[in-house]
Amino acid sequence: MIYNLGSINADFFYRMPRLPGPGETLAATAMSSGLGGKGANQSVAVARAGARVRHIGSVGSDGRWLVDQLAAAGADVAGIRISDLPTAHAIVMIDSAGENQIVIYPGANHDQCPEQIKAAFAEASPSDWLLLQNETSHQLEAAEMANGIGMCVAYSAAPFDADAVARLLPHLSLLIMNEVEAGQLTKALGKPVLHLPVANVLITKGAKGADWHDTRLLQTVSIPAFSVDPVDTTGAGDTFAGYAVAGLSQGMSPQGALRRAAAAAAISVTRPGTADAIPSLVEVEAFLA
């Protein structure tokens, strides 16, 4: 089982002729909404990769439809509680080239509960994983609980906060960042990637692929990206991370897990939306074939 303490957002998408500049007002050409949040996206990706995932999170009373969508995607939603705060939401502007700007209201994502997390771990074992991102509260407590059980802990360090990453590093099996975040972290800590105090580091590089760094063996494995025509890049990193952790939990090698994750991310950017754009395992295997 992969336990995912993760954000749950209502995403509102606005198609724009271009992204607005400071002080500029532009009319959107289309609007839609759906399930999102880095945590929810990664749970959907894990489930569609064929792994078991239990989502731990919070929504407001206005967010039950999002829980229903998570369940429909194959996630176990027993660890989700109803908060007194409104459900988190994101405003996503997407231009004609598929690039985006995003504004997030955290809401119930910052109202997690240690007792809720502990209860969700009731059946956890050392063979399980904990997946974290930087959009919820109580990440450190969850990581400490997982360490006590002997679980592997994977952390997507986004939205990036160097202090939050530094607090979590001693508890991690896998740190996941993009190129910009990796540069910010190595500068903040004064250490190169291969000298970070974590066993494995996964750095995603968009169209340039991804690098897996084993800091114990001082080895790096690079995986190229697949060439596609992007429609919407929102959520591609979450698709990659969810598929990668799912593959590792299923016993795949880092190289195999990352190649499958790269294919899933490539498919996702050819579709609009976030969670809705994440492909099934059947689609990914057909793409690879």
The residues annotated as belonging to the active site are: 238
Which residues have CB under 8 Å from 114's CB, separation 6+? 138, 141
Cα 257 to Cα 138, 153, 247, 252, 287, distances in angstroms: 28, 16, 5, 6, 15
The two three-digit tokens of residue 44, written as one number: 């959907």
Give the H/E segment covering residue 195. none
In DSSP terms, which residues pair with 32 in a beta bridge? 13
Question: How far is Cα 207 from Cα 68, in angstroms, rounded to an integer?
Answer: 33
Q: How far, in Å, CA of 96 to CA of 30, rounded? A: 12
Q: Where are the beta strands (DSSP E) in the chain?
A: 2-5, 9-15, 30-36, 53-59, 76-82, 88-94, 100-105, 129-132, 152-156, 174-178, 200-204, 210-214, 219-223
